[in-house]
A and B are shown apart, each in its own frame.
Chain A
Amino acid sequence: MHMIEDGNTAAALGVKLCRATVIAAYPITPQTPLTEKLSEYVESGEMKAEYIPVESEHSALAVCIAASSAGARVFTATSANGLLYMHEQVQWASGARLPIVMCVVNRAVGAPWNVWNDQQDSISQRDTGWIQIYCADHQQIIDTVIKAYWLAEKVNIPIMVCYDGYILSHTTMPFDLPDQEKVDAFLPPFQPEYALNPDEPANLNTVTLPDVRVDVYGELAHGYMEIRYLLQEDLRTTLQVAAEAEKRFAEIFGRGGDPYIEPYRCDDAEHVAVGMGSITYQMRVCVDALRNEGIKVGVMGVRFYRPFPDETIAYALQGKKSVIVFEKALSYGYEGALASDLKSALYEHLAGTGALPSVQNFIAGIGGREIRTEDLTHALRAATRGRVSKEPLWIGIKL
Chain B
Amino acid sequence: MGTRSYKRKTSHSEPGPGDGGRTGSWRVERPVLDQSLCIPCKRNKEACYICWLFCPEIVISRTIPPTFDLEYCKGCGICAEECPTKAITMVDEAHFAEKEKDKE
Asked whether, in the complex, the Cβ of B10 is within 8 Å of the Cβ of A204, the reply is yes
Instruction: Decide yes or no whether A332 CB sits under 8 A from chain B.
Output: no
Contacting A227 at CB < 8 Å: which of B9, B13, B14, B15?
Answer: B9
Q: Which residue of B lies closest to A196 (CB)?
A: B12
Q: Mark B2-34, 1 if CB is under 8 A from A, else 0.
A: 110010111111111000000000000000000
Q: Which residue of B lies closest to A208 (CB)?
A: B11
Residues of chain A within 8 A of B3, CB atoms compared:
212, 220-223, 226
Instruction: Decide yes or no whether A201 CB sits under 8 A from chain B.
Output: yes
Q: How far is the CA of A208 from the CA of B13 in the complex (A)?
A: 10
Instruction: Decide yes or no whether A199 CB sits under 8 A from chain B.
Output: no
Instruction: Decide yes or no whether B1 CB sits under 8 A from chain A.
Output: yes
Could you tell me how many residues of chain B have their Cβ less than 8 Å away from some Cβ of chain A?
Answer: 13
Instruction: Decide yes or no whether A111 CB sits under 8 A from chain B.
Output: no
Q: How far is the CA of A226 from the CA of B4 in the complex (A)?
A: 8
Residues of chain B within 8 A of A219, CB atoms compared:
6
Q: Which residue of B lies closest to A224 (CB)?
A: B11
Asked whether, in the complex, the Cβ of A202 is within 8 Å of the Cβ of B6, the reply is no
Contacting A215 at CB < 8 Å: which of B2, B9, B14?
Answer: B14
Q: Give B33 Cβ to nearest chain A Cβ, in Å.
A: 31
Residues of chain B within 8 A of A206, CB atoms compared:
11, 13
Contacting B15 at CB < 8 Å: which of A212, A216, A220?
Answer: A216
- Knowing A220-B6, A222-B6, the reply to whether A194 touches B15 (Cβ < 8 A) is no
Asked whether, in the complex, the Cβ of B8 is within 8 Å of the Cβ of A221, the reply is yes
Residues of chain B within 8 A of A215, CB atoms compared:
13-14, 16
Q: Give A388 Cβ to nearest chain B Cβ, in Å.
A: 46
Q: How far is the CA of A206 from the CA of B8 in the complex (A)?
A: 14
Could you tell me how many residues of chain A have their Cβ less than 8 Å away from some Cβ of chain B?
Answer: 27
Q: How far is the CA of A339 from the CA of B2 in the complex (A)?
A: 38
Residues of chain B within 8 A of A203, CB atoms compared:
12-15
Instruction: Decide yes or no whether A303 CB sits under 8 A from chain B.
Output: no
Q: Kindly identify, within residues 65 to 98 of chain A, every residue whose CB is under 8 Å from any CB belonging to chain B.
A: 95-97
Asked whether, in the complex, the Cβ of A96 is within 8 Å of the Cβ of B6, the reply is no
Q: How far is the CA of A227 from the CA of B9 in the complex (A)?
A: 6
Instruction: Decide yes or no whether A371 CB sits under 8 A from chain B.
Output: no
Q: Give B3 Cβ to nearest chain A Cβ, in Å.
A: 5
Contacting A216 at CB < 8 Å: which of B2, B10, B11, B14?
Answer: B14
Residues of chain B within 8 A of A250, CB atoms compared:
none
Instruction: Decide yes or no whether A205 CB sits under 8 A from chain B.
Output: yes
Q: How far is the CA of A260 from the CA of B43 in the complex (A)?
A: 78
Asked whether, in the complex, the Cβ of A216 is within 8 Å of the Cβ of B16, the reply is yes
Q: How far is the CA of A168 from the CA of B11 in the complex (A)?
A: 39
Residues of chain A within 8 A of B6, CB atoms compared:
219-222, 226
Asked whether, in the complex, the Cβ of B9 is within 8 Å of the Cβ of A220, the reply is no
Q: Give B19 Cβ to nearest chain A Cβ, in Å.
A: 9
Instruction: Decide yes or no whether A35 CB sits under 8 A from chain B.
Output: no
Q: Which residue of A lies closest to B15 (CB)?
A: A201
Contacting A156 at CB < 8 Å: which of B1, B2, B9, B12?
Answer: B9
Residues of chain B within 8 A of A217, CB atoms compared:
14
Asked whether, in the complex, the Cβ of A227 is within 8 Å of the Cβ of B11, the reply is yes
Residues of chain A within 8 A of B13, CB atoms compared:
202-204, 206, 215
Asked whether, in the complex, the Cβ of A97 is within 8 Å of the Cβ of B10, the reply is yes
Asked whether, in the complex, the Cβ of A227 is within 8 Å of the Cβ of B16, the reply is no
> Which A residues form the contact surface with B (CB < 8 A)?
95-97, 156, 194, 201-208, 212, 215-217, 219-223, 226-227, 230-231, 234
| Sampled A-B contacts (12; CB under 8 Å) | A96-B11, A156-B9, A201-B14, A202-B14, A208-B11, A216-B14, A219-B6, A220-B6, A227-B9, A227-B11, A231-B9, A234-B9
In order of increasing CB-CB distance, the 8 nearest A-B pairs are A216-B16, A203-B13, A222-B3, A230-B9, A205-B11, A97-B10, A216-B14, A208-B11
